[in-house]
Structure 1
Amino acid sequence: MSLFGSAAASAPNNTIGDLKGDVAVSETPEDSISDLSFNPNPNDAKDFMAVASWDKKIRIYEVNTSTGQTQGRHMYQHNAPVFSCHFAKDGKRVVSAGADNQAKLCDLESGKDSVVAQHDQPIRSVRFFDVDSQPQMIVTGSWDKTIKYWDLRQQQPVASVQCQDRIYTMDVKDNLLVVGTAERYINIINLKEPTKIYKTLQSPLKWQTRVVSCFNDSAGYAIGSIEGRCAIQYVEDKDSGSNFSFRCHREPPQGNTTQVYAVNDISFNPVHGTFSTAGSDGTFHFWDKDAKHRLKGYPSVGGSITAAKFNRDGKVFVYAISYDWSKGYQGNNAQYPTKIMLHPVLPDECKPRPSVKKR
């Protein structure tokens, strides 16, 4: 049976994607959506999604990935807008953080939540991580220019790392932690030595970093910036010949003017290793970094895409449409859409291009 019915199965086999099979999530947030996270546990019979938003709430939805139907299962609250959320690998806990300078942990089985981390300024990003056989810990990155590591059995951070500037984005994969700060600094940390910055560089993109996302194999990461560009970077110098950047989320030039939009989120497909970009222009695209090729591009969804993620088996791509403040206060109005859409991923949409062997 095809995902979300037969409409999605009719998508043409070319580089223009089809939105006809996309399904809206019910009971969406009341303000802009800042982050999304899926339950990564492959052994769970059900798929769950966490949504962070500016209405100070975290919502947990159960998602039927065959039909696209969703049902709200739990909700808890912060004291200020929530910027980041992340599922634990067992799928039983969610951590979230935001403008109240706190991170909260919610146990989904009991429904109870508690404060587990504190910074001097808003926490921009939070992630679970685990090293070797140790219990899962969390790492927080804040506008107070620090990264802090938290053992959930203790009230105080077990370690802290000073960064060059405010932390805007952060991602973890295996032992790789990548941190993007203001002034375009990128810090790479090996989580086996969490208090040492393994490598620091400035982003190859010329404007503010919006998002970093680690490759599935943790060999590198993608960077998205406010000027409609994306960079593919490898951690080790020996692989640096494969680094490159490309333009995306831009409109064709009109005379001497080119409309440029922020890349708000990047997500790697967990099965194929291809990735998505989603932007303020209201479009998303699927890319093959190894072939340096766009697999699919999609029409505008009618508003800025503020967050986007693949689910745990890569069969569903979820994107959040809401105002991202890129046009200031004047750009916001009561009619601006705030919704979450589920896109069924067809087999040809995210598969890498076949490699062409040179004779």
Structure 2
Amino acid sequence: MSSQFELSTPPTDAISAVKFAPGASNRMLVSSWDRNVYLYDTSVKPDGQLLRKYEHRAPVLDVCWGADENEAFSAGLDWDVRRINLETGEQSVLSSHEAGVKSVVYSRETSTVISASWDSTLHVHHPTKMPHVPATINLPSKPFSLSITPTKLVVAMASRALHIYDIRSLALLTSQASEAPPNVVDLEPLQRRESSLKFMTRAVACMPKDDGYASSSIEGRIAVEWFDPSPDSQARKYAFKCHRQVAENGVDVVYPVNALAFHPVHGTFASGGGDGFVALWDGVAKRRIRQYQRYPSSIAALAFSDDGKYLAVAVSPGFEDGKDDISEGVVKVFVRELSESEAKAKGAK
């Protein structure tokens, strides 16, 4: 049987991201519009323990783990990409964009940090080579979401644009670490794609076996696609409707699909919507595995632990704009312990 508990001492404003530590299912980072990154120990019974808060100058829009359990990287509306020593609390600025920084990811394979800003650029950093000036890559439009695999970076942008980059090519851009002026490079992506979704992309998440990705839109749809550019592989891509409710007049009420996360073991994925529901999907069989009981408010973020035994669900109304009038007690983080077969595809052994 699965069980679930609610973390004590949640953020006081909308949540932007939740991330389990690599290789450790009991440590979690949560970033928030309340200008803080939170570090939790989720194994402390009965409702977890807040270990530390790391204050920022402005709302934090994303956070990721670094090389180990004592390192994290954050991004936010102060335009900065920050490195956080989780043990000492010390923060250092890796780079500053020219607008808010929406997303940040860390590649363990290449020890690089990649940030995406609303100034329509990527910054590629090598935090072990400091001081350095990050490589800057211009994007065709505003980025909305990043997802990373051991070999690829997927950048979902406005105007239905999507770029797929080779991680090692990105890492090579940081090899000439220097104190020279900003280094703007023209790196061609592996692939340029147009989203299968007609409306604005809200989230993108890569499959754990590095063979494709799912993306979601503000208009209650999810698309599933594969990296292989061959016609046969591309013929497999599809999109489907979800996170909708039928109103009394028979008209669909459509909600944004705010969050996506792939199960690291089974390859199924979870989606979280503005309707307060979390659903599990088998992307290969094209079917829903289950839908959980409705949560108190909009789903802002989702994350599976590395071992696939836990699913973190962040709930917060108005997380898209960090509304100032969020009342106390409505922002919540739930940790769900999954049963052995809960996230398995139907028919899987």
- TM over 0.5, shorter chain: yes
Within-5 A mapping of 1:50-129: 50-64=29-43, 69-129=47-107
Q: How many residues align?
A: 330
CA positional deviation for 1:300: 1.4
Secondary structure of the corresponding residue to residue 75 of structure 2: strand
Determine the structure 2 residue equivalent to 1:47.
26
Deviation at 1:355, TM superposition (A): 6.2
- Say if 1:117 and 1:328 are closer, same or farther in 2 by CA, change over 3 A: closer
Matched, 1:319 2:295: no
Return the letter of the residue paired with 2:254.
Answer: V
1:178: which partner in 2?
Answer: 154
- The alpha-carbon deviation at position 225 of structure 1 amounts to 0.5
Q: Separation in 1 of the partners of 2:136 and 2:304?
A: 31
- For the residue of structure 2 that corresponds to 1:224, the secondary structure is strand
| Runs of 4+ with deviation above 4 angstroms | 325-330
Q: Residue 324 of structure 1 aligns to a residue in which SS?
A: coil
Change (3 A) 1:254 1:188: farther
Does the C-alpha gap of structure 1 residues 49 and 328 become closer, same or farther in structure 2, counting only changes over 3 Å?
closer
Larger mean Cα displacement after TM superposition, 318-327 or 240-249? 318-327
C-alpha contact 1:322 1:336 (8 A) present in aligned 2: no
* Shift, 1:68, TM fit: 5.7
Q: Is the 8 A contact 1:280 1:324 kept in 2?
A: no
1:290, distance to aligned residue in structure 2 (A): 1.2
Determine which of 275, 280, 283 is the counterpart of 1:281.
Answer: 275
Do residues 146 (structure 1) and 121 (structure 2) align?
yes
Would the aligned equivalents of 1:40 and 1:89 in 2 still touch at CA under 8 Å? Answer: no
CA contact (8 A) 1:280 1:326 kept: no
**5+ long unaligned stretches in structure 1:** 1-8, 12-20
Map Cα deviations across residues 292-326 of structure 1 (whole Å, 9 max, x no partner): 11111012111111011111211111111111256
Shift of 1:254: 4.2
Pick closer, same or farther for the CA change 1:269–1:202 going to 2, 3 Å.
Answer: same
**Cα displacement (A) at 1:90:** 2.5
Measure how far apart 1:28 and its partner are: 0.7
- Mapped to 2, the partners of 1:71 and 1:328 lie a distance apart of 24
SS of 2:235's partner is helix
| 2:189 counterpart of 1:189 | no
Counterparts of 1:198 and 1:263 in 2: how far apart (Å)?
Answer: 27
Letter in 1 for 2:33: W
The residue aligned with 1:268 is 262
Out of 340, 343, 350, the residue aligned to residue 333 of structure 2 is 340
AA in 2 matched with 1:62: D
* Structure with more of its chain in strand, by fraction: 2
**Structure 1 residues 129 and 333, CA gap change in structure 2 (3 angstroms):** closer
What secondary structure does 1:192 align onto? helix
Q: State whether residues 287 and 293 of structure 1, in contact with CA within 8 Å, keep that contact through their aligned partners in structure 2.
A: yes
Whichever residue aligns with residue 35 of structure 1, its letter is A
Shift in Å, 1:193: 2.0
Change (3 A) 1:246 1:122: same
Larger deviation, residues 105-114 vs 51-60: 105-114
SS at match of 2:297: coil
2:249 aligns with one of 255, 259, 262: 255
Alignment of 1:26-45 (within 5 A): 26-41=8-23
Q: SS at the partner of 1:350? A: coil
Task: Quote the offset at 1:329 in angstroms.
Answer: 6.5
Change (3 A) 1:328 1:23: closer
Matches of 1:182 and 1:73 in 2, distance apart? Answer: 37
Post-superposition offset of 1:137: 1.3
CA distance in 2, matches of 1:97, 1:202: 26
Change (3 A) 1:172 1:68: farther
Q: Following the alignment from structure 2 to structure 1, what is the Cα–Cα distance between the partners of residues 278 and 319?
A: 18
Secondary structure of 1:346's partner?
Answer: coil
- Following superposition of structure 1 onto structure 2, how do residues 180-219 of structure 1 map, counting pairs within 5 Å? 180-194=156-170, 195-219=187-211
What's the TM-score, normalizing by structure 1? 0.86
Q: 1:223 maps to what in 2?
A: 215
Superposed CA offset, 1:32-79 (max 9, x none): 0010111012xx5x72100000000000001118x5641111211111
Q: Residue 117 of structure 1 contacts residue 155 of structure 1 at CA under 8 Å; is this kept in 2?
A: no
Identify the range of structure 1 (145-154 vs 101-110) with the bigger mean alpha-carbon deviation: 101-110
Report deviation, 1:347: 1.9
Contact 1:262–1:280 (Cα < 8 Å) also in 2: yes
More relative contact order, 1 or 2 (CA 8 Å, 6+ apart): 2
Report the aligned-residue RMSD.
Answer: 2.2
Change (3 A) 1:307 1:164: same
Moved more, 232-241 or 218-227: 232-241
Greater Cα offset, 336-345 or 154-163: 154-163
